[in-house]
Amino acid sequence: MSTVPHSLTVIDINAELVRLVRQIPSGQVSTYGDLANALGDRRAAVWISRTVHEPDFEATDIAHRVVRNTGEYVGDRSKLVAEGIPFVDDRVDIARCRFQNFDSTQPLHLLQHEQETLRQQIELTPLLDSPTLIAAVDVAYPEPGLAQAAYVLMEAGNAEPIWSVTRRSEVRFPYITGYLAYREIPAYRSVLDEARRTNHWSEVILVDGNGILHPRRCGVASMLGVINDTPTIGIGKKQLCGRVEESTGRILDEQETIGQIMQATPKSKPIYVSPGHRCDLENAVAIVQNWFLGHRLPEPIYQADRLSKS
């Protein structure tokens, strides 16, 4: 039985973005990258570019002051002209009106620090025994702002789940590369709590997402394992980082082995397997191999994926 989990830091990143946009003075502009840097991670620029021009963005009245780093703008040019924004041809002359002096707590930098703290707690120790019970978790988004998490428990020798549960919850964190855990772990909390309460906790949990196959070596599977003090394995559908050693299928990053590329059959699309917490790569590979039952994904993840979308 797992111990009661720790909690992740909760940040209202949307509110912080609104606060930053409202700091851009009339007559000046900022780029998506400027705002991303103010939040603490340049990779947030893609999310920002999608968010600030949405009709329901809380600072939509001044969102025209956020432009691409090329000077291209979205929306009505007349608002920029009315504020005295200089142009060169049909682009904002950013060099003459750029605002970057934000007052920010850099919340994403804080989350990076938390990831690093959790990374130092990851244990890549071998499992003592081959598990007979395997669980998997996955989450889907049936509509904007809503998550449906699924937990599926399976037993060796049985191709059907022996227990499962789904729960819906509000999504409070956007998709930003490198921060998937802050979007999905809160959604998993309720199904994991129910598994504990009903005594359906598993010896190992497969997670739709990466373990140490992550730029900071601390993907959602690792973070879920550490905060719940339970063995986890990451099952990724994309290669997030590293390079594949063709002769072995091992995924390396600066000579460090961080994962394994695997296929259910020679014609299957590959998956990217990595230990999350309290197991090693050999355990992860062996367990996944044992649970290939005719689908691209190991059966527990396949079942959790289907259930989360039902």
Q: What is the pLDDT of residue 178?
A: 86
CA 29 to CA 63: how far, in whole Å?
9
Interval 38-76: pLDDT, tens? 999 999 999 999 999 999 999 999 999 999 999 999 988
Domain segments of the chain as ranges = 13-116, 121-308
* 155 φ/ψ angles, rounded to the nearest 5 degrees: -120, 140
Evaluate whether 97 touches 65 at the Cβ level (below 8 Å): no
**Which pLDDT tens digit goes with each residue over 182-200?**
999 999 999 999 999 999 9
Question: What is the rounded distance in angstroms from the CA atom of residue 184 to the CA atom of residue 171?
Answer: 8
Alpha carbon of residue 230 to chain centroid? 19
DSSP characters over 17-59? HHHHHTTSPTT-BEEHHHHHHHHT-GGGHHHHHHHTTSTT-TT
pLDDT at 4: 38
Question: Which residue type is seen at 100?
Answer: Q
* CATH class belonging to 13-116: mainly alpha
Q: Which 8-state DSSP code applies to residue 230?
A: S
Neighbours of 210 (CB within 10 A): 30
| DSSP string computed for 234-303 | EEESS--SSEE-TTT-EEEETTEEEEEEE-SSTTSPPEEEEEEESS-HHHHHHHHHHT-SSSSS-HHHHH
pLDDT at 75: 87
Architecture of domain 121-308 in CATH?
A: 2-Layer Sandwich (3.30)
Quote the pLDDT of residue 6: 63
Distance of CA 297 to the CA centre of its chain: 19
**The pairing of beta strand 87-88 with beta strand 250-253:** unpaired
How do beta strands 133-143 and 204-208 pair?
parallel
Mean pLDDT of the chain: 95
Diameter of the chain measured on Cα atoms: 71
| Helix, strand, coil share of the chain (percent; to 5) | 35, 25, 45
- The CA-atom distances, in angstroms, between 163 and each of 34, 231, 260 are 48, 19, 29
Q: Is the dihedral of CA 159, 164, 170, 174 positive or negative?
A: negative
Kind of pairing, strands 66-67 and 87-88? Answer: unpaired
C-alpha dihedral sign at 168, 170, 172, 177 = positive
Same fold, 13-116 and 121-308: no
Q: What tokens were used for 299?
A: 């059966």
Instruction: Take residue 208 and report the two structure tokens written for it.
Output: 């739709």
Distance of alpha carbon 225 from alpha carbon 232, whole angstroms: 5
CA angle 206, 214, 210 (to 5 degrees): 15
What parts of the chain have a pLDDT lower than 50? 1-5
Residues 30, 35, 41: CA angle, nearest 5 degrees: 145
